[in-house]
Structures are given as C-alpha cells and as structure tokens.
C-alpha cells in the first residue's frame, strides 16, 4: 500500500498529484529501484479514483523514465533510478567549477528532484512548431549546412535588431554578432577587454558560470555587494578608482541568482561612475524578457550615451537552451576585434538553427510562446514564495524574484561548509550551494539558490518542504 495523500479540493488534477507523490517516494528512497507498484485496479480502489486517473499518472511517470511496465509482470520503479555517488565527485568540490559540474551531473540523474539549475521547462518547449520551420528549410539545406558568416545568419541579425528596437536600443544588423549561447559572448568580450592577471568588477553574488570564465582566463573578480536598488555605489566607485579594473560584469534585470532588478536611479548612477573612470560594462540581459509583475526597466545599453556597454542576450532561457543561440551588441569600436576572436574560436555557428530561429521570430513565434509560458512560470514563482513562507523556520530569509528562474536564500551558519548541500543530495534533492558564489570571506551567513523554472508547483512544494525539514531538524 502506497498510502498516497490526495487533496480533492486542489486545482491540480488528481493524476498529477498521484504522479508527484510517487516521484517523491522514489526521490527519498521509499520506493527504490526495482520496487513493484500496485496494479492500476488496486491503486484506483485504494485511492477511490477512476482507473483512467491511475493510468494517466503511470503513463506520465513512464514517459519521464521514472517507472517501467513489464508485460505479464507489472509496473516497477525504473532500474535507472539510482542515488548520486557522493563519494565520487558530486558534493565534494565546493567551488564555482565544482558546483557547476554537480549541477550538470545531477540533471542527468533520474530520481533526483533538482532545483539547482535555472532553466526553462522542456515540457513547455514548442518543439513541433519550431521543427516545422526547420523542415521548411530543406530546399536550402546545401547552403545552410556549409560554412556560414562568422557574424551570424543575416536573417537572424535582422530579427535581433527588431527585438533591440523594442528595447529602445539602437543598432544595425551589421553591428550584431550571433554567438553559440550567451556563454560564448561572455568569453569573447572578456578576452577582448582584459589580460591574464587583471581584475573585473562583478556583483556579489553573481552568475557562477561567469566566475568560471574569469578563472579560466586568469582574472580576479572584485565583488561589489547588492542592496535593494542594485550594486552599492560606494563600493563600486571605490573599486573603479582604486583597482582600475578591465570592466564591470552586471545583470541589471532579474539578476541571477537573486531575481531582483536594479532601480532606475541606480542604473543612471552606475553609468555615470563608469563614464567618470572610463570603465566598460558587460550587460547580461538573458532573463530580461522573463518578467512577472511589471515590464523590466530600460537596459543599460538603451541608456548608454558613451557607447561603453556591451549588450548580451539570447534564447536559452526564453526558448530552448539546446539551440545554443545568443547575440552580442558591442560598441562599434570593438566589433572587428570581437569578430576576429569569434573566427579564432569556432569560425561560425549553425546556419540551419540560426535561419530556423530567424523565421520563427519573424512570424512572432517567440512572442506567442512567451504569452503561453510566462503565466505558468509566474505561478511557479508564486508557489515557491508561498511554500517558503509556510515551511521555513525563523531565521531564514529569501529574495522575492520579479523575474527569472531563481530565488536566493540566506540563513545563519547552522551547518558546516557544504553540509546542508550534501545532506540534501542524500535525500535526492538538489539546490545550488552558496559556496559556489563565495568571493567574500567576511560573509558570516550561509546562502543557497533555489530554481523553480523546470519544476511543477507540486514539485516545488515538495522540494521546499524537504529543505525546510533538513534545516529545522538540524
């Protein structure tokens, strides 16, 4: 007997509740790999629901790989559901590189409830619609499958400029560089502006992937702390004046990992100080269109009158990350240098996916997609905030994200370094450990990131409840 708990007054369908309850039991080890599940008829009688409800729940679990049906024998927890091997590598290296490796490993482990990666939900991808655009490119396949323009597909650059115009950013197709994801663009700008041994101002905390870029290029991050309006101006100006850094890497809209945005006044102040010290700014706006409550504030690029802002965005968070498509709008004085670095990196990107995305954007496919998914992601954001308020013990605080896919939790140092992270992994639950963001030894608090974009509401609630229990029990 599974003894599943159903709430018949919830808006969630019963089959979804059943599927999520079974996932929870698999994740926490109560249903180990190979365990036999009740028959459809028996579980339907036990829960007093229709057989179709159980069949739907089992079908969803089987489609996602959690369970498998064996003809003549029954339904079993998949043998692919195995605990993470903590003694090997996961949970050991508490650095930005180590935690990022953990995230990618955990994401492939069946039976883990992962709130460690800020990504969209693959179940919401408009795969069939987009595939149709690729299919229609078949007559041009010979051209598109050869080497393309290092700057990117001309059609896609035209569509990017239309997006930029909606953000009141001036630019021409000849100014835009299409990149293999935003990460490549961040790498290119960092190479163009700095040399090994130099320094770069970053927000504290900031995107851990960018900390890896700095480390790989032999650069030292200079952290500037955040308050309710954005980077602290006193710290920012002191670093700009004293350290003479190469540039400032910033995420003003729906910051990763906090989900907050800078105030309008703070944007103007940062641009003024940057101009005073001749400091370039690398603006990462990958989450800019994932807004839940109000429209995002104007980008730094749209406010830039000195042409010192390198603007980066892309389609990994708003569309499908596997396409690896981003774009960069550099100051015109740097365009040729960026293109030279791009050609030395990988010559060009995929002409097929770039042209397919261009046609999808031209037909307003992305706007249709966002109208459909933003209410879903907004509900998930609301769910995690409600769950945190309900479950977390006193002393734990968190940010209330205005957009993006993550919230940032802060708590007293109840645990030793990495202890909470490893305890959660043993319970098959993953978050992003705050140790990955450490740049400030003076911080006397613990932090962690919870990501909700790829989790259904019931999964978010289960994850927060487990985390709260781990903290409360300790």
pLDDT digits (tens, 9 = 90+) for 127-171: 999 999 999 999 999 999 999 999 999 999 999 999 999 999 999
Q: For residue 372, what pLDDT is reported? A: 95
The whole-chain average pLDDT of the chain stands at 91
Q: Say if residue 370's pLDDT is above 50.
A: yes
Band of residue 12 on the pLDDT scale cut at 50, 70, 90: low
Question: 96-125+370-473 and 127-367: same fold?
Answer: no
For the segment 287-301, the average pLDDT, to the nearest whole number, is 94
Instruction: Please give the helix or strand (H or E) that residue 239 lies within, else none.
Output: helix 233-243
Residue 446 tokens, joined? 């613990």
Q: Say if residue 107's pLDDT is above 70.
A: yes
In the numeric block, the tokens 């350290």 are attached to: 243
Write the class of the CATH domain 14-77. Answer: mainly alpha
Q: For residue 392, what pLDDT is reported? A: 97
pLDDT digits (tens, 9 = 90+) for 387-429: 999 999 999 999 999 999 999 999 998 888 889 998 998 888 8
Beta bridge partners of 429: 113
pLDDT digits (tens, 9 = 90+) for 263-288: 999 999 999 999 999 999 999 999 99
Domain 127-367 adopts which CATH fold? 3.40.640
Beta strand 397-398 with 406-411 is: antiparallel
CA–CA gap between residue 426 and residue 52 (Å, rounded) = 34
pLDDT digits (tens, 9 = 90+) for 327-360: 999 999 999 999 999 999 999 999 999 999 999 9
Q: Could you tell me which CATH number the domain at 96-125+370-473 has?
A: 3.90.1150.10
For the segment 91-112, the average pLDDT, to the nearest whole number, is 77
Nearest to 323 by CA among 474, 164, 126: 126
Q: Where are the domains of the chain?
A: 14-77, 96-125+370-473, 127-367
Q: For residue 88, what pLDDT is reported? A: 59
Q: For residue 65, what pLDDT is reported? A: 81
Q: Which of residues 12 and 269 earns the better pLDDT score?
A: 269
Band of residue 208 on the pLDDT scale cut at 50, 70, 90: very high
Band of residue 86 on the pLDDT scale cut at 50, 70, 90: very low
Top mean-pLDDT range of 26-40, 89-103, 309-323: 309-323
Strands (E), 287-337: 309-314, 326-329
Distances (CA, A) of 180 to 151, 362, 400, 412: 11, 20, 31, 40
């Amino acid at each position: 007997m599974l003894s599943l708990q159903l709430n018949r007054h919830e808006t969630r369908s019963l089959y979804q509740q059943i599927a999520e309850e079974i996932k929870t039991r698999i994740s926490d080890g109560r249903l180990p790999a190979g365990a036999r599940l009740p028959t459809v008829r028996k579980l339907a009688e036990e829960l007093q629901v229709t057989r179709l409800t159980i069949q739907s729940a089992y079908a969803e679990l089987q489609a996602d790989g959690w369970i498998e049906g064996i003809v003549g024998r029954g339904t079993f927890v998949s043998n692919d559901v195995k605990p993470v091997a903590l003694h090997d590598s996961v949970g050991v290296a508490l650095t930005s590189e180590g935690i990022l490796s953990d995230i990618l490993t955990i994401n492939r482990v069946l039976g883990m409830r992962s709130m460690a990666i800020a990504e969209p939900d693959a179940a919401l991808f408009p795969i069939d619609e987009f595939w149709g655009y690729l299919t229609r490119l078949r007559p041009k396949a010979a051209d598109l499958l050869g080497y393309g323009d290092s700057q990117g597909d001309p059609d896609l650059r035209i569509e990017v400029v239309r997006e930029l115009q909606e953000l009141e950013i001036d630019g021409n197709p000849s100014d835009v560089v299409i990149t293999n994801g935003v990460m490549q663009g961040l790498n290119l700008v960092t190479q163009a502006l700095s040399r090994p041994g130099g320094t770069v101002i970053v927000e504290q905390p900031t995107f851990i992937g960018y900390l890896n870029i700095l480390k790989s290029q032999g650069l030292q991050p200079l952290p500037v702390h955040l308050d309710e309006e954005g980077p602290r101006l006193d710290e920012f100006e002191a670093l700009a004046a004293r350290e003479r850094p190469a540039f400032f890497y910033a995420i003003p809209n729906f910051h990763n990992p906090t989900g907050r945005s800078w105030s309008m006044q703070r944007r103007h102040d940062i641009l003024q100080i940057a101009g005073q010290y001749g400091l370039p700014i690398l603006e990462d706006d990958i989450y800019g269109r994932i807004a839940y409550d109000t429209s995002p504030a104007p980008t730094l690029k749209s406010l830039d009158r000195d042409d010192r802002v390198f603007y980066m965005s892309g389609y990994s968070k708003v569309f499908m990350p596997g396409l690896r498509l981003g774009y960069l709008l550099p100051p015109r004085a740097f365009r040729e240098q960026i293109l030279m670095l791009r050609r030395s990196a990988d010559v060009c990107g995929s002409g097929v996916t770039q042209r397919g995305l261009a046609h999808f954007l031209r037909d307003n496919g992305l706007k249709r997609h966002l109208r459909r998914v933003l209410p879903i992601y907004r509900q998930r954001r609301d769910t995690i905030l409600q769950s945190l308020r309900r479950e977390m013990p006193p002393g734990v605080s968190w940010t209330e994200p205005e957009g993006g896919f993550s919230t940032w939790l802060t708590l007293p140092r109840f645990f030793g370094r990495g202890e909470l992270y490893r305890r959660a992994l043993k319970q098959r639950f993953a978050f992003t450990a705050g140790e990955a963001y450490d740049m400030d030894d003076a911080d006397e608090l613990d932090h962690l990131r919870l990501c909700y974009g790829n989790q259904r509401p019931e999964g978010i609630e289960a994850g927060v409840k487990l985390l709260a229990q781990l903290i409360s029990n300790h």
